[in-house]
Amino acid sequence: MPAKLRFSIPIKISREKRIMLALIMMVLAIALFSRIYQLDKFPYFKPEYPWLGDKPGFPGLYGDEASYYLHAKNLPQKWPVYQPWLHLILVKISTTLLGVSNFSIRLPSAIFSSLSAVIVFLAADKLFNDKWSSILSALYFIAMTPALIYGRMNLLENSVAFFFVLTTYYLLPASTELDKFRPGLTSILALLSKIKGLTVIAYYI
């Protein structure tokens, strides 16, 4: 039998794109480390009552974190009426795959917060067209106290914030039909994460 012919298309990546990809990976790695480091604990926050452990049975979890976990735990048998489900479904998947722990409960929020840092970097690059400014913007987002603390907690606002920043990023060029479609999609995803996602739609209206 004749040997099968193999065709390969060489993929050439410009130096500028390689640098951009390396910077994106660097920002993501730093963000993930800051969010996942001792995620089951709280190294950046006072671990005493009333900040943490204020709900019996959930040591080390803030009250709202425990409440959102209970909503996720009850899926799909019981769906919350007043709370959208996207983030809760991700918490359910995380705790199902990794087992129930503070780490698995908080992991979706930590990932969303880390991805937000990448979008901040990309948005700053579009705005300033300067890599140093973009890196500093992303590092500031990673290190600033509210994002560093709440970005590690099981709070639905982390997914809303990610889709809000992503919507903003897509609106920056807004020159094609596709660019006009993406902000609408990400706004809907923000709404599906928490009812406060309505603020994303209202903000741009």
pLDDT reported for residue 64: 84
Contact 63, 54 (CB under 8 A): yes
pLDDT at 50: 47
C-alpha 95/C-alpha 69 separation (Å) is 9
pTM (predicted TM-score): 0.82
What is the tens place of the pLDDT at every residue in 92-148?
999 999 999 999 999 999 999 999 999 999 999 998 889 999 999 999 999 998 888
The contacts of residue 200 (CB under 8 Å, 6+ apart) are 160, 163, 164, 167, 186, 187, 190, 191
Buried b / exposed e along 132-168 (16+ C-beta atoms within 10 A): eebbebbbebbeeeebbebbbbbbbbbbbbbbbbbbb
At 192, the pLDDT band (50, 70, 90 cuts) reads confident
- pLDDT at position 3, please? 53
Tell me which amino acid residue 172 is.
L
Sequence-distant (6+) residues with CB within 8 A of 138 are 27, 31, 117, 118, 120, 121, 124
Please, where are the H alpha helices in the chain?
15-36, 63-73, 86-98, 102-128, 131-143, 145-150, 157-171, 177-193, 198-204
Cα–Cα distance between 40 and 61 in angstroms, integer? 9
Cα 7 from chain centroid (whole Å): 39
For residue 79, what pLDDT is reported? Answer: 83
Mean of the per-residue pLDDT values of the chain: 81
pLDDT in tens, 57-106: 566 788 788 889 989 998 888 888 777 888 999 999 999 999 999 999 99
194 has pLDDT over 70: yes
Report the pLDDT value the prediction gives residue 186, as an integer from 0 to 100.
Answer: 79
List all residues 6 or more positions away from 111 whose beta carbon is below 8 Å from its beta carbon: 32, 35
Stronger pLDDT, 203 or 23, i.e. the higher one? 23
Give the residue from 80, 77, 73, 51 showing the smallest Cα distance to 153: 51
Choose between 114 and 16: higher pLDDT: 114
3-state secondary structure of 59: coil
97, burial (CB in 10 Å: exposed 0-12, middle 13-18, buried 19+)? exposed
Per-residue pLDDT reduced to its tens digit, 175-187: 455 566 777 777 7
